[in-house]
């Protein structure tokens, strides 16, 4: 029996574990994939307070070591559901776990094109976040795949420092807000390939180009680039928690800055919840908020009993 079970060992989950342990609560963190979450794909962070530069993997490792040093328990398992009650039972593929409260910090997965060698090239020329990695391509030619608001934000940021930005959009038009579209179209160093999809990656150890196909003509071409950004959105994996934590139309858990869900004793933190910005710093903030709120809730329950 744990006081708090945390689902997910990304920055939000690990921060929650650190705060909860410092408050004297027993903590179990369940992670299904990679300790550190999406941040481990970033070879270098330059926008996280306290470090001029640090790799995402190193930052995640430091967070994990701090949580373990404080006495948090960590297990590898994929959660498939939660049974609600005075005691929460978290159901995993490898076992069942009991806790008095749960913090869901399951993150959100960047959408992929699911092309061959895609995972190998992430962090080696293939990126998801211009805020995180855009500065590494100053003066170079990059591609942005996507045409919605996420892509438009990436394009505008990259166009400030890159020599050229080529946009690969599968539709015959951009789909974001008109004001942002107008700003993109006004940039002289932005070129847009409409009705075009990426069908493959070039390069061995590092991305050197994209193979593109025109959806109207079927014609294919190779586009040499120094880097490419996948900007086709993120997808949360929250269906396992939908019974206890209502989801919005995009599948994110409906929870505000207090990280509380409508279910007493269940909180949501980080990229898995509804929020305006999904950065390491905002995930850490969520983890602290969720842990403090959860500890306060547990203390109130004990006082009432």
Q: Are 177 and 184 spatial neighbours (Cβ–Cβ below 8 Å)? A: no
H or E stretch including 109? Answer: strand 108-110
User: Of 19-28, 115-124, 148-157, where does mean pLDDT reach its minimum?
Assistant: 148-157
Q: What is the pLDDT of residue 129?
A: 84
pLDDT at 41 over 80: no
| Given 129, 162, 272, 294, the catalytic residue | 129
Domain ranges of the chain: 2-110+234-304, 118-230
Task: Answer yes or no: 299 catalytic.
Answer: no
- Domain 2-110+234-304 belongs to what architecture? 3-Layer(bba) Sandwich (3.50)
Of 3, 33, 77, 133, the active-site residue reads 133
Assigned token pair, 218:
């079927």
Q: How far apart are CA 148 and CA 113, in angstroms?
A: 15
Query: Looking at residues 12-39, what average pLDDT do you find?
Result: 94
Residue 131 has pLDDT above 80, yes or no: no
CATH of the structural domain 118-230, one choice from 3.30.1860.10, 1.10.1040.50, 3.50.50.60, 3.40.50.1820: 3.50.50.60
| pLDDT mean over 179-197 | 96
Using alpha carbons, select from 244, 195, 36, 238 the residue that is nearest to residue 123: 36
Identical fold between 2-110+234-304 and 118-230: yes
User: What is the pLDDT at residue 44?
Assistant: 73
The catalytic position among 77, 132, 226, 272 is 132
Respond yes or no: is residue 286 known to be catalytic. no
Q: What is the mean pLDDT of residues 74-86?
A: 95
**Is residue 162 flagged as an active site residue?**
no
Instruction: Flag whether pLDDT at 184 surpasses 90.
Output: yes
Neighbours of 245 (CB within 10 A): 24
- State which of 105-114, 209-218, 296-305 shows the largest mean pLDDT: 209-218
């Amino acid at each position: 029996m744990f006081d708090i079970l945390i689902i997910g060992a990304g920055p939000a989950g690990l921060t929650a574990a650190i705060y909860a342990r410092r408050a004297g609560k027993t903590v179990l963190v369940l992670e299904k994939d990679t300790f550190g979450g999406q941040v481990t794909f970033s070879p270098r962070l330059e926008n996280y307070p306290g470090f001029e530069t640090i790799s995402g993997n190193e930052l995640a490792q430091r967070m994990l070591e701090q949580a373990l040093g404080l006495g948090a328990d960590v297990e590898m398992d994929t959660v498939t559901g939660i049974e609600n009650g005075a005691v929460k039972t978290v159901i995993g593929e490898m076992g069942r776990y009991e806790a008095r409260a749960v913090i869901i910090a399951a993150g959100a997965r960047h959408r992929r094109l699911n092309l061959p060698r895609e995972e190998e090239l992430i962090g080696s020329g293939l990126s998801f976040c211009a805020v995180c990695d855009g500065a590494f391509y100053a003066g170079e030619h990059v591609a942005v795949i996507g045409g919605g608001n996420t892509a438009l934000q990436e394009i505008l940021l990259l166009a400030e420092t890159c020599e050229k930005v080529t946009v690969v959009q599968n539709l015959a038009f951009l789909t974001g807000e008109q004001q942002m579209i107008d700003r993109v179209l006004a940039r002289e160093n932005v070129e847009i390939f409409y009705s075009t999809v990426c069908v493959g990656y070039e390069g061995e150890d590092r991305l050197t180009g994209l193979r593109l196909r025109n959806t109207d003509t079927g014609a294919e071409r190779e586009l040499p680039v120094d880097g490419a950004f996948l900007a086709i959105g993120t997808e949360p994996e929250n269906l396992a928690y939908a019974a206890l934590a209502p989801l919005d139309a995009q599948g994110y858990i409906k929870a505000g800055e207090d990280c509380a869900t409508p279910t007493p004793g269940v909180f949501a933190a980080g990229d898995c919840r509804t929020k305006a910005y999904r950065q390491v710093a905002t995930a850490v903030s969520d983890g602290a908020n969720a842990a403090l709120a959860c500890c306060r809730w547990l203390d109130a329950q004990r006082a009432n009993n």
